[in-house]
Amino acid sequence: MTERRNYTAAEVLAVMSSRLLKDGQIVFAGVGLPLLAAILAQRTHAPTLTILFEGGTIGAFVEPGQLPPSTNEQRCCRRANMLLPSTDVLLLLQRGYVDIGFMGGAQIDKHGNLNSSFIGDAENPTARLPGTGGGNDIASLTNMIVAMKHEKRRFVEKVDFVTSPGFLDGGRSREKAGLDLGGLFRVVTDLAILGFDEKSRDMKVVALHPGVTAKEIQDNTGFELIIERNVETTPPPTEDELKVLRHLDPDRLYIA
């Protein structure tokens, strides 16, 4: 990244992710940075974006400085359109009402499979993670956006456990497993925006963030990326985007 940047890596993640969300869409957002990015989109270029939370909230409008620590927290409910049981919210996924699923993960592999369950061996893991929640449902039934820090230990050849399916073993393996809908649309990191080759379903670089080189992103990835010549560069976060973002999270819970 450029040395004179006036934003943090987390702010890059939030801004670049928010730009992928469009006005009028329905997004199933996970807690943390995905939630913040969805709210940022709602307050900037996508005022009619509808946010769903796993806890049952539909159409939330979260107050600045009152970011909920959980999707089951009461601060998710302010000015909401509806409050449903979590099972009914997941039923909306099955009925095809959700356009975008948006969450993070501890590990991701070259085919977009996510791990948020454990690190290491299943019988004796080195770390236990939050688990699936609705992550498997979301990844199985919607087009997914994933936001995460770009590190070699996170971008691995094969995840330790598939909590949320991407394109499984690549190619048409997702469809052959019966997952006809959705798939991983974009992975947003502090270094780049990534997508997937339409045939192999291997991860590829769609755009690099300002100041990031192809070598830098490959050095921070645990598998071979597809990097085409003349890759685009994303426009840096604008002052207006950063102003709104910092107003939403004045205590820097998610954008430190």
Residue 67, SS3?
coil
CA-based nearest residue to 72, from 130, 148, 17, 140 = 130
Measured over all CA atoms, what is the biggest interatomic distance in the chain, rounded to whole angstroms? 48
Helical axes 239-248 vs 33-43, angle rounded to 10°: 120
Beta strand pairing call for 192-196 and 183-188: antiparallel
What phi-psi label fits residue 123: left (phi over 0), alpha (psi between -120 and 50 degrees) or beta? alpha
Q: Is 136 helix (H, G, I), strand (E, B) or coil?
A: helix
54 an active-site residue? yes
For residues 162 and 113, what is the distance between their CA atoms, to the nearest angstrom? 6
The catalytic residue among 3, 54, 224, 232 is 54
Q: Please tell me whether residue 13 adopts helix, strand or coil conformation.
A: helix
Tokens of residue 98, six digits: 């959700």
DSSP reduced 3-state for 195: strand
Q: Which residues participate in catalysis according to the annotation?
A: 54
